[in-house]
Amino acid sequence: MKPAWLKVEVCADGKVEFMEKILRYHRLRTVCQAAHCPNLPRCWGVGTATFMILGEVCTRTCRFCATRTGWPGGAVDAREPGRIARAVRELGLTYVVLTSVDRDDLPDGGAAHWAQAIRAVKRAAPGAAVEALIPDFSGHREALAEVLAAGPAVVGHNLETVRRLTPLVRDRRASYGLSLDVLRAIKHISPGTLTKSSLLLGLGETDTEVREALRELREVGVDILVLGQYLRPGPRQAPVSRYLSPEEFEGWRQEALRLGFRAVVAGPLVRTSFRAAEVYRGLLCA
């Protein structure tokens, strides 16, 4: 039985329905839907969504994720960046979060499409900031450089879990070391770009292992840290080891701030893009 603090407050003021209408009209997907995010009612209720580009079929199989897996065979919707840009304009968004499935079937991992989507959004909404929650692109620096050249304000890549558990819950192509290398490379290519990463807790990690992960994320220059509770999306995914209390998350938040992260968002229902715009604007004003 899930603890009481995992209950989600549903917003019923029509904004969720409006968001659904716009997304459906432009044939767009969100990670909110694909990953069964617990914050969907809350985020959509305030007009925030994370657009998922490059289709809804991921080439990797991670045991914490509900996204459908398969091999798209190189198929890319060239009109998708334009549709996202139009939706952003119609929704009046000033902060846009983009993410994608892994596309190992594409030679560049989808980097060119990523760059096109970022540029399309910036043309449609010149005052908007774009956050890119990227896959690892198999560690190819050329792909990372192409995405960064499009000018995202924030680039996130998730470590997801601690070193020991990575082979157990992430696809074999998504190693702990590779994720750290990607985050390090982003800072090397574009030192002024804010970087973000997140960990899901409750998969069986120890406190010592979490501290190691936090230290290593700081060592590669991560600015924004996100800590959330792992929630099993379905019977095929890894089981929850335990539920951390809000007080435990607050303790980790304080510890992470002492390590030097510029911003930390932590809580049972927190996910990578939760309060993304608020955090970004807070850093600009700091």
- Quick one: pLDDT at residue 25? 66
Asked if 184 contacts 144 with a C-beta cutoff of 8 angstroms, the reply is no
The residue whose two tokens read 């289709």 is 55
The residue whose two tokens read 């896959």 is 135
DSSP string, 188-227: HH-TTSEEEEEEEE-SS--HHHHHHHHHHHHHTT--EEEE
- Quick one: pLDDT at residue 23? 73
For residues 167 and 63, give the distance between their C-alpha atoms in angstroms, rounded to a whole number: 10
Question: Around 266, how many Cα atoms within 13 Å sit in the side-chain half-sphere?
Answer: 22
- Quick one: pLDDT at residue 10? 54
Residue 219 CB neighbours (<10 A): 12
- Quick one: pLDDT at residue 13? 55
- Quick one: pLDDT at residue 248? 98
For residues 162 and 209, give the distance between their C-alpha atoms in angstroms, rounded to a whole number: 6
- Quick one: pLDDT at residue 66? 84
- Quick one: pLDDT at residue 32? 56
User: Which residues of the chain are under the pLDDT cut of 70?
Assistant: 1, 5, 7-16, 18, 25-26, 30-49
- Quick one: pLDDT at residue 49? 66
CATH of domain 10-285: 3.20.20.70
| Type of residue at 129 | A
